[in-house]
Chain A
C-alpha cells in the first residue's frame, strides 16, 4: 500500500485531472453552442420546415457527416496546421480544443436535429397562428420544448469528449490520458494507469449524474 502511495505522483495526477476538466468543460460549452446552431440549421432547412432550403441542408448535412466519420485520432493530426494558425502551438490543453470541438459538434448537431424532430408539429403551427416570429419560435418553442433531449444529448457528448481528451493527451495535450500513457504505460507502472482510469471514471459518473438530474428536472411531459 505504501508502495502504491509512493508510486503515484499525486500532484501530477491532480494537475492532469484539472487539465482534463478544463479541456472537457471548454469543449462541451463550445460543442453545445456550435452543435445547437448546426442542429437548428439542419432542422429548419429540412423539408416542410420554416427555412426549407435543400441546398443549404445538403451542404450542412455533408459537413456534419464528414466530420462525424473521421476517427478522432486522425482528425487531430489532420487539424495540426489549422490548430497551429489558431492557437500558435500544437502542445498543451488549448491546442486540443479545436480538434475536440470540431470532432464533437457535428455529432451533437445530429442529436439536436433528432430532438427537434420530436417536437409536435402542431405546437409550432399553433405558435405561427399566434403571430410568432421565427426568432420567437426558436427561442420560446423549439429550444425549451426539446430541452430534456438537448441535455441528455450533451451529456452523452460530454462523456465522449472525456474520451477524446484522453486521446488528445497521448499526442501532447496533457490531462489524464497523457498522465496514464506517460507515467503509467511508458514507465511500466500499471497501477498509475489504473489510478488515471479511476479518475476518468469518477469524472464520467459525475457528468452522467448532473446530466440525468437536469434532464429529469426539465422534463414535464
Chain B
C-alpha cells in the first residue's frame, strides 16, 4: 500500500543543512496499523507529511496506493490526496463551520452534490458517535469530540490511507483511549490502512500492528509491536518500552523482594501472546510440591497478543523448584531467576 524507498529529506537553515529524514525504507501493508514512534525532532513528522506530499523528499521515492506521491503535481496530486486523509494533533477544524459543515468540507472539495453530501455526513456522524452535535461549532466541543469531527472529515471521501499526526497527543488519557478504539474500529470495519506517528508508547501498544522507532532521522528499529515489546534492541526502544512496562521500577522491586524472602527463589516470568492466557500458576501448584506466592505482575494487551511480566516466589525442595521452573520453561514462558545483583 505504501512504499518508502531510500528517502532523504534535507532542510536548509541558517545554521546549515539539517537531515530531517535519513535514508528511510519502509513497506506498509494494506489494512495495517503502522506506528512510527520517536521523540520530537526525530523526523517522524516530516516522514508522515511526505506520504501526502505536504513535504517532498530531497531524494528517494514515496509511493502510496500505486501513485508516486513524490513525483505527481497539480490536479493529479489533489486527486491522490482525496484518498490519503490526515488527522492532526490540533484538529485543524474550520471554526466558522458547524460539525456537519466541517465534515462536508472535503466532499465539497471533491465536487460531491449537495443531497449526496447530506447523506454521507449523516453516515459519518453516526460512525464517529457525534449524533446530536451536528449543528454545534468546534468552539463548543471538547477535545475528544473535535478529534471525532477530524476523523469523520478524514473519512468523508472514503480514503485508502489515514495518516495520524500525533492525533491523541493533545488529549487526556481517557479520551485518548476512546479515540484509539475508534481508530481500531474504523480499521476493522473499513479495512483502512492507518499510519500514525506519536511519542507515546501507550498508543503504539494499544492499536499498532507494527512499529518503526525513529531517532535522528533514521529508522533504528522495526518489527511487530509484540516483538519490539518483548525484545527491544536499541537503547531508545528500551526507553519507550519502559514508558508502559516500567521495567526499572520492577527491577527495584525485585531487589527489595530478595531481601524479604531469604528462602526459595524469586522468578520473573515473561508471558507472550497465547501463553498469557493459560492457567499456568494453577498447574505449577497442582503438579509440583512448591509454595507459590505471587509478588507482582502486569499484563499489557497489544493488537497482536498480550505481553506481561509476573514475579513469583517459589519455596520448597531445591529440586522441586528446579522441576517447576523447567515445566514453566516448557510452556513457552520466559523464566528468569532473580538473584542478588
Contacts and interface: CB of A to CB of B under 8 A. Distances in A.
* A and B assemble together: yes
B173 to A, nearest CB: 24
A220 B96 CA distance: 6
Given A130-B105, A131-B110, A221-B139, A145 B96 contact: yes
A144 B96 contact: yes
B199 to A, nearest CB: 18
Contact of A132 (B85, B95, B109, B139): B109
Interface string B198-242: 000000000000000000000000000000000000000000000
Given A129-B54, A220-B137, A122 B88 contact: yes
A140 to B, nearest CB: 7
B100 interface: no
B108 interface: yes
Main secondary structure of the interface of A (DSSP, over half): helix
Given A130-B81, A131-B82, A131-B110, A147 B96 contact: yes
A197 interface: no
Nearest to B51: A129
Nearest to B77: A131
A157 to B, nearest CB: 22
Interface residues of A, number: 21
A128 B137 contact: no
A51 to B, nearest CB: 14
B97 A129 contact: no
Given A131-B109, A132-B109, A220 B95 contact: yes
- Among A131, A141, A147, A221, max chain B CB count under 10 A is at A131
Nearest to B140: A220
B301 to A, nearest CB: 32
Contacts, number: 65
A126 B156 CA distance: 14
A144 B98 CA distance: 12
A122 B49 CA distance: 13
B106 interface: yes
Interface in B82-134: 82, 84-86, 88, 90, 92-97, 105-106, 108-110
B268 interface: no
A34 B79 CA distance: 33
B82 A130 contact: yes
B244 to A, nearest CB: 29
A159 to B, nearest CB: 25
B96 A122 contact: no
Contacts of A220: 95-96, 137-139
Interface in A92-140: 120, 122-123, 125-133, 136, 140
Nearest to B75: A133
Nearest to A132: B109
Nearest to A120: B92
A177 to B, nearest CB: 38
Nearest to A122: B92
A134 B62 CA distance: 24
B88 A126 contact: yes
B168 interface: no
Interface string B53-79: 010000000000000000000000111
A125 B91 CA distance: 11
A218 interface: yes
26 contacts: A120-B90, A120-B92, A122-B90, A125-B92, A126-B86, A126-B92, A128-B54, A129-B52, A129-B86, A130-B82, A130-B105, A130-B109, A130-B153, A130-B157, A131-B80, A131-B82, A132-B109, A133-B78, A140-B108, A140-B109, A144-B96, A145-B94, A145-B95, A218-B96, A220-B95, A221-B95
Interface of B: 52, 54, 77-82, 84-86, 88, 90, 92-97, 105-106, 108-110, 137-139, 153, 157
Interface of A: 120, 122-123, 125-133, 136, 140-141, 144-145, 147, 218, 220-221
Leading 5 A-B pairs by shortest Cβ distance: A131-B81, A131-B78, A126-B92, A122-B92, A220-B137
Given A129-B84, A144-B96, A145-B94, 10 more contacts: A127-B105, A130-B81, A130-B109, A131-B106, A132-B78, A141-B94, A144-B97, A145-B95, A220-B138, A221-B95
